[in-house]
Amino acid sequence: MQILEPYIPKEYLALKINFLRQQLAALPEVKKTNRIIHGKRKDVFFLNSHYHTTDSLAGAKLQPIYSQREYYMCELSRLEGLWNSEYRKQPPSDIVPRKIIRRLFRSAVDAVVLDSKFFESLKNDADPNHPESKKFFYNGIYYRSAAEADIARFYTENGIPFKYEPEIWLKDLNYPIYTDFVILIKELDMCKFHEHFGMKNAAGYNRITATKYNNYSGAGLLPELDVFYTYDVDGVPFDTRNLHTKLNSVIYNSLLLPDSST
């Protein structure tokens, strides 16, 4: 099903706004205007009291910085508009991007930080098991259920990078698992694991959930912090608004951790 309304949970929205403000503050203040040079009006970049024509060598170097600033400013304006339509005060100053280290243990001595480097190392759609059960197509990938395709659409529409069923090795297992989704929260440079269950048989899924819970816990991952779960049942379409709540919870729980948490 389509997302019913554009909504970003309050804490996650505050994080995104503060992230963009942080990125803008770190970029040189490149502005674009035009001037008459040798009798001709030309586009120029302005930086540190100096003008550089856009077709000059210095201008070519400033172009990507200017483009990045424009993108950040447009996105910030959009998100601040969403914030101002719902809330009166400024976004909380304590919900800011920072480095929070979480680790996945692949063995007793081998641990990997769950960051963008780990995310980029994962292969998308890597599970070789039961390919015939993948029947629901979205954006170049077949998913095992309509709910999983809706989740993929949700992440795509909200600009959240994800890998579907990547191969993951966990401590104490001699075989890989294939997490339904691994997402990257860019603002925190932090990965989260998302397992989705279609509850066709409650007792059977309880056993599967317990097994996955124990496997993740044994590798150092904590529920509702590193791993979160969603569910759907036969005959009831999955509502992605539930995913907003889950996502906000794991992000906010991460922000409550001390710096460089292990």
Give the closest residue to 188 by CA, choosing from 94, 244, 105, 251: 251
Could you tell me if residue 46 is inside a domain? Answer: yes
**CA nearest 34: which of 61, 55, 48?**
55
Among 86, 113, 148, the domain-final residue is 86
Q: What pTM was estimated for this model as a whole?
A: 0.80
Cβ density class 7-40: b for 16+ within 10 Å, e for less: ebbbbbbbbbbbbbbebeeeeeebebeeeeeeee
% of the chain residues with pLDDT over 90: 56
User: Are 189 and 223 part of one and the same domain?
Assistant: yes
**Cα–Cα distance between 170 and 223 in angstroms, integer?**
15
236 and 108 belong to one structural domain: yes
Count of domains for the chain: 2
Residues 129 and 242 in one domain: yes
Weakest-pLDDT range from 74-88, 109-123, 151-165, 201-215: 201-215
More confident: 252 or 69: 69
Q: pLDDT value at position 213? A: 85
20 shares its domain with 66 = yes
User: Which pLDDT band holds residue 2 (cuts at 50, 70, 90)?
Assistant: very low
> Does residue 125 share a domain with residue 249?
yes
The confidence score (pLDDT) of residue 203 equals 66
Instruction: List the structure tokens of 165.
Output: 């069923």
Q: Is residue 260 part of a domain?
A: no
Could you say which of 56, 86, 116 is where a domain stops?
Answer: 86
The torsion angle over the Cα atoms of residues 208, 213, 219 and 221, rounded to 10 degrees, is 140
Does 92 reside within a domain?
A: no
Q: What is the pLDDT of residues 57-91, one digit of tens each?
A: 999 999 999 999 999 999 999 999 989 988 878 88
Q: Is 22 within the bounds of a domain?
A: yes
Structural domain including 41 reads 10-86
Give the sheet arrangement for strand 50-53, strand by strand. 31-37, 40-47, 50-53
Tell me if 91 is assigned to some domain. no
How many angstroms separate the CA atoms of 63 and 53, rounded?
10
